[in-house]
Structure 1
């Protein structure tokens, strides 16, 4: 694999995802040993051409010889295209670059709610962009509800199946319900909390997905699927507690989160 020498990628040291994939670039030889550095440790006089705020939003790749800087998906394409010349043409195809830049922005501007940072001490933090957070909420809502709709059929005999739109209404209702309480209690953290909450729901649905895909082959009793669902719900509850501590919002949102889910379950079973 060809190494892109004399380049350093400036990653977010407070972002677990960023640390993982930039470390992989160096470990696999895509970048040399000096090919990654956290932008938080960049001295004020180093890399004068780097826009510090933009580097916090879009990962920066610096040419150590010329000082030239690229940002975001173009930085990643330069690293990947150098190692895999066969796809370099695709990385220069304008419509593809535009599409991937939107995908990159979608992930980058939501990275702190996908995997939250334990500390946020650096002066430059990722810019909050409401349109990307709303897009993330809608995306996770749709995917989560779609998986749950399919999983609900496995619970037949234990839980009423309901209409095709039930899970979409439940997931959407959760956003509205919790949105009211976070707005009343910690309004400044509203969008941060809702993003984290939907990551938990999305993660839980992904844990259910393999069972949905394999259900025809394994053919287990509905009791098994119910118990597995409860296990996933328990893990989600613990993750909600963990993320609430990171956000510093205490227990109230975890309590209302549990109340909403208990109320929905009661409505499904008895109404």
Structure 2
């Protein structure tokens, strides 16, 4: 291989390296903003469509636990929670998620919310002397068992482990990617002429924008078709809302990258035209 061929091979590898590292850098920045935007995620999770699905999820757990405890249909209906109670539970769950607690849904919290209507229909004296008192004890135990099984599920643990790993380490990942990208661009500047460098940066930027566009479309399809339509439980709700938040950042980054890419290509074309004259 001649020296010129070796030079072109090195430049080609640099271009590929910058494109790949640049893609991961943009993605990591978007993921960072998403993971640390707890308020933004909660604004999505606490919208009515999400709360209705969460309410259905909680009430399914309550129904199974109550019937196994011996409650009749009327008593079971009284244990069902409403949207405002669901909102309270979702807020506490989000606190657990963002604080790194694997115990997402606290059975005692769900128990306290669900028995409010039932207790209002029974005086404390009548409650202690009725069979409802014994059923409540079994109902509480059932909630603990059912929720513990859900909290111990493999998919839930896996999703939360990835979430917390990224949240704890994403800043270090960003710093490393920025350093590597800067070094690669500095090396490329040494090897290429100004007009060629601008054209190269423009093409790489547009390539990254296309890759991000594919990811954004994939997230849209995944969250809409596979997650939101089959959503049940806190993890699915938070994953779906995180996808929606992440898509927002990606669309904004795609818009900026397209402007930068087109601008660099146009400037390089004008430079070439000027040099030919």
Mark yes or no: TM-score above 0.5: no
- TM-score (norm: length of structure 1): 0.26
Ranked by relative contact order (alpha carbons within 8 Å, sequence separation 6 or more), the top structure is 2
More helix by share: 2
